[in-house]
């Protein structure tokens, strides 16, 4: 089968890229070895928080802040084009300091962020408890960042695919891509059940990106970092915004759940939920919001975050395999970075390399790729 662009991987990055490309008029095929969002995306907490996750990594902070600014439009379009309701809220995040050293670090962070005119403020213990009465009394204070929010990453991925298929995009799931080779002026993508030929391939296979053979190109240095996340059934209105503690975070979801995340474990391609992971997250969550000891346990999810050696994503064209566009290695911020990544991928496919963000995301920083 031939088309304009094959996108490999239907996580949030592949889905957002496929949606963007189909909106720009390209004939797109989206492939996944499992199903939509089955990788890291289904496990994600969906928090949109550059000023927590980005803390000291300046280029990442720049990218993340740009992407957050695109989110209202991104979600509004996905809602309108798919008809999906989508749980997307910009309630802000409240980062809790449990001791004096954490409070000093957060107050310094507040000072730096305030200089960029981001809506944020330091709250005393009493102010935290006024805003979030369920938070433990045993704290020093909290750092509120108002523009932050969260989104349901799996539902968003499904909505993006629905929007793109309504424009003619073809989705093929359940057949892993094994090898991508040069085929005249085009690229050929071989799966277990068939082949696809296109001038451009977008490579968005997350943690598994190093496992797909690329004609004469070294494997991309992306490795899996396991994250476990719990779903608890909410008690009477326990929290109203994302609460971030030193060892876990809590996300209030619209359907009456609290998500508790997340572990970060370097254990290879092991997608198991573990007793230690569940215990550690429950203890940290209940230290922050003690009434969660009374919540019901709904389940646990696990996903493999695609990490690169410098923790920055890899977005750019291959020098070695013309036609290949990398969009992988988004590590802890793939959901947050999805709108910006999709826009960059759209530009790269159309030969526009002028965006300054691409300087920070070049694949070639890891060698001849």
Ligand X SMILES: Cc1cc2nc3c(=O)[nH]c(=O)nc-3n(C[C@H](O)[C@H](O)[C@H](O)COP(=O)(O)OP(=O)(O)OC[C@H]3O[C@@H](n4cnc5c(N)ncnc54)[C@H](O)[C@@H]3O)c2cc1C
Q: Under a CB-based contact definition with an 8 Å cutoff, are residues 19 and 166 in contact?
A: no
Q: Does residue number 10 form part of the binding site for ligand X (CB under 6 A)?
A: yes
Q: Which of the stretches 76-84, 86-94, 199-207, 266-274 binds ligand X when contact is defined by CB under 6 A?
A: 199-207
- ω into 266 cis (within 30 of 0): no
Closest to ligand X by CB, 102 vs 333, is 333
CB of 124 to ligand X, least distance (A): 27
Length of the chain: 369
Residue 187, both tokens: 């690229």
Q: Does residue number 9 form part of the binding site for ligand X (CB under 6 A)?
A: yes
Residue 271, both tokens: 């997608």
Residues 11-70 close enough to bind ligand X by CB under 6 A: 11-14, 31-34, 38-41, 43-47
Q: Does residue number 332 form part of the binding site for ligand X (CB under 6 A)?
A: yes
Helix (H) or strand (E) holding 70: helix 58-82
With CB under 6 A as the contact rule, the residue among 102, 152, 207, 308 that binds ligand X is 207
Residue 8 dihedral angles phi and psi, to the nearest 5°: -100, 115
In order of 107, 183, 210, 279, the CA distances from 195 in angstroms are 55, 12, 20, 45
Residue 167, both tokens: 């424009």
**What is the C-alpha to C-alpha distance for residues 224 and 232, in angstroms, rounded to an integer?**
26
Query: Which among 167, 156, 178 has a CA at the least distance from the CA of 336?
Result: 156
Site string for ligand X, 222-261 (x = CB under 6 A): -----x-x-------------------------------x
CB of 16 to ligand X, least distance (A): 8
Residues whose CB falls within 8 Å of the CB of residue 199, separated by 6 or more in sequence, listed in order:
4, 5, 185, 186, 187, 323
Site string for ligand X, 335-364 (x = CB under 6 A): xx----------------------------
CB of 142 to ligand X, least distance (A): 19
Q: Which of the stretches 10-18, 92-100, 314-322, 347-355 binds ligand X when contact is defined by CB under 6 A?
A: 10-18
Buried b (16+ CB within 10 A) or exposed e, 326-359: bbbbbbbbbbbbbbbbbbbbbbbbeeeeeeebbe
Closest to ligand X by CB, 141 vs 252, is 252
Q: Which of the stretches 116-124, 138-146, 194-202, 299-307 binds ligand X when contact is defined by CB under 6 A?
A: 299-307
The owner of tokens 């891509």 is: 177
Closest to ligand X by CB, 125 vs 301, is 301
What 3 state SS string does 72-95 have?
Answer: HHHHHHHHHHHCCCCCEECCCEEE
CB of 126 to ligand X, least distance (A): 29
CB of 47 to ligand X, least distance (A): 3
Closest to ligand X by CB, 84 vs 214, is 214
Q: Does residue number 187 form part of the binding site for ligand X (CB under 6 A)?
A: no
How many amino acids of this chain bind ligand X (CB under 6 A)?
A: 43
CB of 120 to ligand X, least distance (A): 19
Residue 85 dihedral angles phi and psi, to the nearest 5°: -75, -45
CB of 54 to ligand X, least distance (A): 11
Query: Which among 168, 257, 182, 266 has a CA at the least distance from the CA of 226?
Result: 266
Q: Does residue number 135 form part of the binding site for ligand X (CB under 6 A)?
A: no
CB of 249 to ligand X, least distance (A): 8
The owner of tokens 């969906």 is: 46
**What is the C-alpha to C-alpha distance for residues 294 and 298, in angstroms, rounded to an integer?**
12
Q: Which of the stretches 128-136, 202-210, 317-325, 357-365 binds ligand X when contact is defined by CB under 6 A?
A: 202-210
Residues in the site for ligand X, rule: CB under 6 A? 8-14, 31-34, 38-41, 43-47, 176-177, 204-208, 212, 227, 229, 261-262, 303, 305-306, 328, 330-336
């Amino acid at each position: 089968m031939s088309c304009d662009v094959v996108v490999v991987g239907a996580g949030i990055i592949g889905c957002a890229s496929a949606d963007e490309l189909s909106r720009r008029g390209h004939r797109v095929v989206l492939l996944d070895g499992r199903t939509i969002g089955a990788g890291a995306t289904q496990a994600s907490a969906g928090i949109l928080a550059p000023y927590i996750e980005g803390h000291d990594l300046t280029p990442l902070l720049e990218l993340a802040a740009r992407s957050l600014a695109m989110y209202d439009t991104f979600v509004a379009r996905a809602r309108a084009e798919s008809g999906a309701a989508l749980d997307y809220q910009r309630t802000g995040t409240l980062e809790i300091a449990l001791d004096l050293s954490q409070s000093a670090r957060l107050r310094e962070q507040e000072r730096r962020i305030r200089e960029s005119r981001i809506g944020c403020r330091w709250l005393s213990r009493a102010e935290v408890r006024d805003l979030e009465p369920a938070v433990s009394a045993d704290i020093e204070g909290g750092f509120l960042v108002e523009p932050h929010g969260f989104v349901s990453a799996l539902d968003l991925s499904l909505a993006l695919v629905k929007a793109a298929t309504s424009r003619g995009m073809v989705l093929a799931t359940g057949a892993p891509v094994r090898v991508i080779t040069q085929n005249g002026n085009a690229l050929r993508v071989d799966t277990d059940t068939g082949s696809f030929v296109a001038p451009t391939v977008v490579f968005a296979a997350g943690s598994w990106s190093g496992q797909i053979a690329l004609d004469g190109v070294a494997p991309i240095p992306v490795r899996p970092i396991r994250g476990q996340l719990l779903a608890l059934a909410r008690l009477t209105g326990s929290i109203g915004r994302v609460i971030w503690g030193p060892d876990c975070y809590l996300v209030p979801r619209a359907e009456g759940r609290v998500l508790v995340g997340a572990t970060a474990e370097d254990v290879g391609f092991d997608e198991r939920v573990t007793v230690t992971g569940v215990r550690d997250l429950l203890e940290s969550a209940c230290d922050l919001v003690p009434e969660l000891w009374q919540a019901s346990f709904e389940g646990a999810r696990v996903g493999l975050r695609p990490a690169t050696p410098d923790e920055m994503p890899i977005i750019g064209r291959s020098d070695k395999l013309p036609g290949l566009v990398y969009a992988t290695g988004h590590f802890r911020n793939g959901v947050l970075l999805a709108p910006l990544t999709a826009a960059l991928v759209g530009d790269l496919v159309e030969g526009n390399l002028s965006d300054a963000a691409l300087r920070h995301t070049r694949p070639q920083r890891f060698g001849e790729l």
